[in-house]
Amino acid sequence: MRKKILALLAGSALLASSACGLGSSGAGDGDDSITIGTLFTVSGAGAKLGDKMRKGAELAVEKVNSEGGINGKQIKWVFYDPAGDTSTAVQQTNRMLDSDGVELVVGGGGSSGIALAMDPITSGKGIAFIATEGARQIVEPAGEHRLTFKTTFNDTTMVEKLIEYWKANDVTKVAFMPDTSSFGQSAQEELERLAPEAGIEVFTAAFDPAANDLTPQVKRLASNDPQAYLAWTTQPSGVTFLNNVRSVLANKDVMVMHGFGFVDDRYMQQAGKAAEGTILVSPKLPVWDKIDDSDQQKATMEEFATSYAEKYGGEQPNVYAGQAYDAMMVAAEALRATGGDTDGEKVAQAIEGLGSHVGVTGVFKYTSDDHSGLTSDDVAVIKWDGSRFVPAE
Amino acid sequence: METGLFIQVLLSGLSVGAIYAIVALGFGVIFNATGAINFVQGEYVMVGGLSAAMLYEAWNVPIFFAILVAIAVTTLLGFLTEAGLLGFGRLRTPAAITIATIAIAVIVKGAAMLISARDTYALPSLLGPEALRILGASTSRQTVLNLVLSVLVVVALTVFFRRTKLGTTLRAAAGDSETLQTFGVSYRTTARWAFVIAAALGAVAGAGLAPLTVMSFDSGTLLGLKGFAAAMLGGLGNPQGALAGGLLLGVAEAVVSGYGTSAYADVVAFVVLLAILTFRPTGMFGTARAVRT
Amino acid sequence: MMSRLTRSLSRNNSWELWLTIGLLLLLPMLLATDYALTIWTRMAIYVILLTGLNFINGMAGMISLAQAGFFGLGAYAAGIAAVRFDVPPVLALVIAPLVVTAAALLVGMMSMRLKEIYFKMATLGAGFVLFLLFGRMVELTGGPNGLVGIPPFSVFGFAFTEPIVKYAFVALLAIIGAIVAHNLLVSRTGRALRAYGASEPAALAAGASPFKLRLLAFGMSGFYAGVAGALEAFDARFISPSTFDFMMAVLLVVALVLSGAGRMIGPILGALLLTGIEVFAADYADYEPLIMGVIFLIAVQLFPRGLAGELAARREDRRERAKREAAAQTEREVVRA
């Protein structure tokens, strides 16, 4: 009996250790490849977005490799799914760096919390990290995040664009409905900080991303007579928001708005008539074919949109796929500049020295003070016209 | 405006509460027959709603037919759940069955994630998209349908439990094989019926929920737990209690959303669950079973 | 019944304790790369967490789904103390278990008289409320983005940042925790607790108050969860609500039940299982939930009484059979004679 348990224990210990991949040596030592590691959440609540991000990154890796790689070296891509959990992500990051021989990390799990948890680990090991998540704390202050960059908009940038748009349209009172996830909460902080300075009154009512009815919040906010209703979420309840606002405010002409997390054809189609005329802040990607030919991003966006749709059976890329694609491309370009050297410091200097990188979600201009790279010039205000996104006038 | 908000809160609460009530009924049916808590209940709602919406949106199946097929699919899933739990004859205690239902819930959700390719799907209301206006408030027409459905289901279940032989067995069985033998029915038979009925109820709730929002593979889990809180509130295993518990929980959440700090609305269900178990574990309307030692 | 219990206690438990200690000392020697050490550290934290859960799950025979919430409460108590109030880590490591013990006693009192399945759901409710509060009390917890800037554990200015030092510290606490748990179990109180877990009348006959015992078990589980939580906070130096969700609560219970609730060997086996699952699952991104669910179901079906419990039961069966055969043998001999 005792022997049996002992044997069993030894067995499970062996299993655990072999499963750890502890025996495998670092994969990045060879001269013929560069190992890039990525975490995106492709199961659980954030799965839909994480899947888009994975596809975007995958497309970029294939593109770089098919065009001859980085100075002749192919990218070897390591991918893990932390399922939305930070402690799992920490463990997987350690695994990538210590066991899989990952030399550069692109993509921070698809949620700001995960990217924030990964940053100290990558930095501690002298590895450059290009995040695809929103919270500005991931890269700010840049002096304390020497090796960490991101390819997403700061909420500050988005909010500034919103305020600019509201001012142009004489909106002074705004009803704001962020969800209670990190995505909604970060935007809430920024909006409540910046809007009052601009003379815009904000009335906030948060909601659970899994909520099935938001009419009480909408009705309550309506008593303040706001001219615009803005939701901030990536979850399906954003469709409920559209339906509920239209239904509660039936005969009122108000501006109904969403943040960039909801720029998704499927969501808009599913909200049906309630989505018509919805205004969103977004990168230019969804309206790439409607913007002026002189725009320097146009060719890049067109190539991305067509090759994405081709690879994934006609599926339209969204902003998230674009961000992940951009992150991988920034990494590749920086590595070309270092001559394939993956030393964190050198990669960071190369990224800061890129000048301007024309991506699909914006033109990135990294400096030693700004590791976000995007400005409100890269943000477009777009509108769902009932069948597709168009630029809002 | 004030009465408007009040009516709006009430309508919102009833609309979501009707769904909670139908979910709560499912918990009750399985609890009465096996003494276990079925964590797959929330996933039945997801499967019912998601498959109806997928059939409608992706394969252009007429809406009414799509809902019927979805109910059939979910009922089959209920049948399979029972087979997966009790088919091996190794799980005997309600506690062991309860733990195993969590495993099945994880499997169902994982499979739904792959089948739906993580996409969301929408199902329009059978009654059309127009809103219903009542005293300065507005709600989806689906709300009325859901309320009528929940009442009908409660009446049907009450009659079934009281008037039919199978119903009486299901109600009295409570997983007690000795009692069952005096009725001349096997434990497996009662359990199978209970899971099939509970799954069908879940599918109905899913079809009722889908028009209020959009469905994804992730829509069921939290809803299931809230449905359980509703069941406890009304008294686990008591059909009328489930209806009252569901509607009350829905309204309580809406009150916090409309009048309180709306960010805390989803905490309500679990605070209610804790409070009711602490102060009145038989629920407001009682349950047939002893809950305290 | 009672005699079988005491017999198994005196015979089995101390080797199980030695094995636990041995494994905690031996595993890092097997493999001591930085990555392996982070895994072993995590495993040692799980050992503490599961030793705590074992008081309720194993001894008192009740299933608690609040342990993940308590784990989180410990992590947040330590993290908030260190980040928001500049409390030295050593003190935070003391505060966290006290906070969680208090919370656990409160939940214990609320759910004390409930029958098994209702108790389970009450603990589920408590765990869920805690999980939601971690995400909602943004000012204090950092909200869904998580709590950043937790310092490493340090004593008199010496920071525990080296993986081997971190592991040694966590493993030391895990070993102390296991010894304390073992001593409590073989004490009079522990026997009463077990008897209560096995059957209530037995406890009553032994003159023990089942409610006091249950409360004791709950308080102990809270204390261990608090220590584990504080260690998690100082180890990861970042905490977010996602780690302490419903799935974690379920995984903890399943790991303990599968490896043998109520036995001293349970926590270490369960911790190996949990870390094994986490590491193994990473390779199957898309199919992970499906595969996990199937493995989980098969395991529950194969070992409804847990691995250790199943083996023990089999041995019991064999002994019974041997006894019966021996009896039959004697009978035959008697007849022949």
Interface predicted TM-score of the whole assembly (ipTM), two decimals: 0.91
Question: CB B291 to CB C114 under 8 A?
Answer: yes
Asked if residue A246 has pLDDT above 80, the reply is yes
Q: What is the pLDDT of residue A16?
A: 47
Q: What is the pLDDT of residue C336?
A: 63
Min Cα distance B219 → chain A (Å) is 7
Q: What is the pLDDT of residue A10?
A: 44
Asked if residue A107 has pLDDT above 80, the reply is yes
Q: What is the pLDDT of residue C205?
A: 59
**Gyration radius of chain B's alpha carbons:** 19
Using the 8-state DSSP alphabet, how is residue A104 labeled?
A: E
Take residue B96 and report the two structure tokens written for it.
């062991």
Mean pLDDT, residues C8-18: 64
What is residue A385's three-state secondary structure? coil
B73 or C331, greater pLDDT: B73
Asked if residue C330 has pLDDT above 90, the reply is no
Q: What is the dihedral of CA C165, C169, C171, C174, to 10 degrees?
A: -170
Question: CB B263 to CB C136 under 8 A?
Answer: yes
Question: CB C282 to CB A95 under 8 A?
Answer: yes
Asked if residue C136 has pLDDT above 60, the reply is yes
Helix runs in B35-62, H state only: 41-59
pLDDT in tens, B135-161: 888 888 899 999 999 999 999 999 988
Task: Give the Cα separation of C275 and C279 in Å (integer).
Answer: 6
Question: CB A267 to CB B214 under 8 A?
Answer: yes
A223 neighbourhood in chain B, CB within 8 Å: 1, 5
Assess contact for C73 and C239: CB atoms under 8 A. no
Q: Tell me how far the alpha carbon of residue B181 is from its chain's centroid.
A: 29
A121 neighbourhood in chain C, CB within 8 Å: none
Between helix B2-34 and helix B41-59 the angle, nearest 10°, is 110
Q: What is the pLDDT of residue A237?
A: 93
End-to-end CA distance of chain C: 35
What is residue A175's three-state secondary structure? strand
Mean pLDDT, residues A251-274: 90
Most confident listed range (A20-29, A355-364, B73-82): B73-82
A207 neighbourhood in chain B, CB within 8 Å: 257, 262-263, 265
C279 neighbourhood in chain A, CB within 8 Å: 16, 19-21, 91, 95
- Give Cα separations from C234 to C89, C93, C149, C158, C166 (angstroms): 8, 9, 10, 14, 9
Strand partners, A258: A231, A280
Average pLDDT of chain A, as a whole number: 88
Nearest partner of B86 among B73, B72, B98, B69, judged by Cα: B98
Task: Give the Cα separation of C236 and A155 in Å (integer).
Answer: 27
Question: CB C132 to CB B114 under 8 A?
Answer: no
Take residue C198 and report the two structure tokens written for it.
């096995």
Question: In chain C, what is the greatest distance between 2 CA atoms, to the nearest angstrom?
Answer: 87
How many CB atoms are closer than 10 A to CB B20?
A: 33
With a CB cutoff of 8 Å and minimum separation 6, the contacts of B37 are B27, B30, B31, B94, B98, B101, B228, C117, C120, C121
Say which of A19, A99, A181 has its CB closest to residue C35: A99
Asked if residue C5 has pLDDT above 80, the reply is no
Question: CB C292 to CB B106 under 8 A?
Answer: yes
Least confident of A2-16, B98-112, B212-226, C79-93: A2-16
**Positive/negative CA dihedral, A218, A222, A226, A227:** positive
Least confident of B39-53, B157-171, C156-170: B157-171
Q: What is the pLDDT of residue C191?
A: 76
Strand partners, A391: A382
Best B32, B46, B106 member to test C by mutation, with max C CBs in 10 Å, is B106
Say which of A48, A206, A208 has its CB closest to residue B216: A48
Asked if residue A15 has pLDDT above 50, the reply is no
- Give Cα separations from B22 to A197, A218, B35, C168 (angstroms): 48, 26, 19, 53
Residue with tokens 């808009």: A268
Asked if residue C334 has pLDDT above 80, the reply is no
C255 neighbourhood in chain A, CB within 8 Å: none
Q: What is the pLDDT of residue C110?
A: 87
Question: CB B263 to CB A206 under 8 A?
Answer: yes
Average pLDDT of chain B, as a whole number: 88
Best A91, A123, A189 member to test C by mutation, with max C CBs in 10 Å, is A91
Nearest CA in chain C to B262: C136
Mean pLDDT, residues A198-206: 94
Q: Within an 8 Å CB–CB cutoff, is residue B115 touching chain C?
A: no
Task: Give the Cα separation of A119 and A137 in Å (integer).
Answer: 10
- Give Cα separations from B138 to A237, A253, B148 (angstroms): 18, 16, 18
Asked if residue C81 has pLDDT above 60, the reply is yes
Task: Give the Cα separation of C296 and B99 in Å (integer).
Answer: 10
Take residue C41 and report the two structure tokens written for it.
């550290």
A45 neighbourhood in chain B, CB within 8 Å: 218
pLDDT band (50, 70, 90) for residue C4: very low
Least confident of A331-345, B61-75, B272-286: B272-286
A9 neighbourhood in chain C, CB within 8 Å: 19, 23, 269, 272
Average pLDDT of chain C, as a whole number: 83
Min Cα distance A326 → chain B (Å) is 23
B99 neighbourhood in chain C, CB within 8 Å: 63, 253-254, 257, 300
Nearest CA in chain C to A87: C243
What is residue A162's three-state secondary structure? helix
Q: What is the pLDDT of residue B178?
A: 62
Min Cα distance B130 → chain A (Å) is 8
Task: Give the Cα separation of C217 and C69 in Å (integer).
Answer: 17
Say which of C30, C238, C269 has its CB closest to residue A12: C269
A220 neighbourhood in chain B, CB within 8 Å: 5, 258-259
Using the 8-state DSSP alphabet, how is residue A224 labeled?
A: T
C263 or C239, greater pLDDT: C239
pLDDT band (50, 70, 90) for residue C11: very low
Nearest partner of B111 among A387, C294, C61, judged by Cα: C294
Task: Give the Cα separation of B269 and B247 in Å (integer).
Answer: 12
C15 neighbourhood in chain A, CB within 8 Å: 2
pLDDT in tens, C153-205: 988 888 888 888 999 999 999 999 999 988 887 787 777 777 766 555 555 55
Helix runs in B116-209, H state only: 141-163, 165-173, 177-183, 187-209
% of chain C residues with pLDDT over 70:
86
Say which of A22, A84, A94 has its CB closest to residue C242: A84
- Give Cα separations from C322 to C7, C313, C319, C329, C336 (angstroms): 19, 14, 5, 10, 21
Say which of B119, B120, B266 has its CB closest to residue A210: B266
Say which of A13, A86, A97 has its CB closest to residue C243: A86
Question: CB B8 to CB A273 under 8 A?
Answer: no
The residue type of A368 is: S
Asked if residue A25 has pLDDT above 90, the reply is no
Q: What is the pLDDT of residue C3?
A: 44
Assess contact for B196 and B72: CB atoms under 8 A. no
Q: Within an 8 Å CB–CB cutoff, is residue A120 touching chain C?
A: yes
pLDDT band (50, 70, 90) for residue C208: low
Task: Give the Cα separation of A118 and A99 in Å (integer).
Answer: 16
Q: Tell me how far the alpha carbon of residue C277 is from its chain's centroid.
A: 16
Min Cα distance C286 → chain A (Å) is 7
With a CB cutoff of 8 Å and minimum separation 6, the contacts of A223 are B1, B5
**What is the number of H-type helices and E-type strands within chain B?**
11, 2
Task: Give the Cα separation of A222 and A254 in Å (integer).
Answer: 11
Bridge-based pairing state of the strands B131-134 and A228-232: unpaired
Using the 8-state DSSP alphabet, how is residue A179 labeled?
A: B
How many CB atoms are closer than 10 A to CB B280?
A: 14
**Gyration radius of chain C's alpha carbons:** 21
Question: CB C114 to CB B273 under 8 A?
Answer: no
Task: Give the Cα separation of A264 and A318 in Å (integer).
Answer: 6
* Backbone dihedral angles phi then psi of residue A22, each to the nearest 5 degrees: -70, -25
What is residue A332's three-state secondary structure? helix
Bridge-based pairing state of the strands A255-258 and A279-283: parallel
Q: What is the pLDDT of residue C305?
A: 66
Task: Give the Cα separation of A187 and A176 in Å (integer).
Answer: 10
pLDDT in tens, C306-323: 666 666 666 667 777 777
What is residue C337's three-state secondary structure? coil
Q: What is the pLDDT of residue C303?
A: 76
How many CB atoms are closer than 10 A to CB A225?
A: 12
How many contacts does B have with C, using Cβ atoms within 8 A?
A: 123
% of chain A residues with pLDDT over 90:
64
Question: CB B259 to CB A47 under 8 A?
Answer: no
Strand partners, A384: A389
pLDDT band (50, 70, 90) for residue A85: confident
Q: Tell me how far the alpha carbon of residue A34 is from its chain's centroid.
A: 24
- Give Cα separations from A78 to A34, A96, A325, A350, B53 (angstroms): 11, 8, 15, 23, 35
Q: What is the pLDDT of residue B188?
A: 83
- Give C80-122 as a DSSP string: HHHHHS---HHHHHHHHHHHHHHHHHHHHHHHTTB-HHHHHHH
Question: CB C285 to CB A116 under 8 A?
Answer: no
Asked if residue A182 has pLDDT above 80, the reply is yes
- What H or E segment, with its residue span, contains residue C38? helix C34-54
pLDDT band (50, 70, 90) for residue A20: very low
Task: Give the Cα separation of A131 and A119 in Å (integer).
Answer: 9
Chain B: touching chains (3 or more CB pairs < 8 Å):
A, C
Question: In chain A, what is the greatest distance between 2 CA atoms, to the nearest angstrom?
Answer: 80
Q: What is the dihedral of CA B205, B206, B207, B209, to 10 degrees?
A: 80
Best B93, B101, B264, B270 member to test C by mutation, with max C CBs in 10 Å, is B270
Q: Within an 8 Å CB–CB cutoff, is residue B95 touching chain C?
A: yes
Mean pLDDT, residues B44-71: 95
Q: Within an 8 Å CB–CB cutoff, is residue A92 touching chain C?
A: yes
Burial C274-288 (b: 16+ CB within 10 A, else e): bbbbbbbbbeebbbb
Chain A: touching chains (3 or more CB pairs < 8 Å):
B, C
Question: CB B95 to CB C120 under 8 A?
Answer: yes
Task: Give the Cα separation of C244 and A44 in Å (integer).
Answer: 15
